[in-house]
Chains A and B, each alone.
Chain A
């Protein structure tokens, strides 16, 4: 059974780097059948797509974070990673990891439970 489990530090200081991991179980990420994305949600607000990574490493990032964001795949550990540099309070949010099928229309079909990140000194 597929499970996506996000993990991270919980709290990060302003100007530091946020590192999150999405541990995938129940399927291998080392397949072109899927692609993976991170979506975040500030407290009390809506959903924001922040980036996607395809098998083979192609990435797309939201323009507002493009110069601070990096998403990568670790196939040996079956994990998707996110790194966000120079964080500020506006990066405080629940961060979700998602899986999509490489089939038309099947975007963000499976979600992790999310991990809350607070940016505070």
Chain B
């Protein structure tokens, strides 16, 4: 199974800040990685697929980079609605695995 190690587990930031979240895969997954945002009491929503492609409707302050085993999600200029929990997901192989999550507060 591919393990996804996501860091940090929590992140304290302010409106206007730039933050970066990292996911590391235990083996190479090409660009088979997505990033998801979850707000309290809601279902997750996909922000980015194929490591770097923004989902339609997602603000351009979100960006993703990486391939192989190292991936990052960057939010440039945090907005109040961005304070949420973020997860990475590898879909290179089964079983699918999520990172542990990063709570942005």
Contacts and interface: CB of A to CB of B under 8 A. Distances in A.
A52 B101 CA distance: 21
Interface residues of B, number: 26
Contacts of B55: 109
Interface in A97-119: 104-109, 111-114
B95 A108 contact: no
Interface stretch (A7-15, A16-24, A43-51, A71-79): A43-51
A interface, how many residues as a size bin?
20 to 34
B50 to A, nearest CB: 4
Looking at chain B's contact residues, is the secondary structure mostly helix, strand, loop, or mixed? loop
Interface in A47-86: 47-49, 52, 60-63
Interface of B: 1, 31-32, 34, 36, 38, 42-46, 49-50, 53, 55, 87, 89, 91, 94-101
15 contacts: A37-B96, A46-B99, A47-B44, A47-B87, A52-B94, A52-B96, A61-B95, A105-B31, A105-B32, A105-B91, A107-B49, A107-B96, A108-B34, A109-B55, A112-B43
Interface of A: 37, 46-49, 52, 60-63, 96, 104-109, 111-114
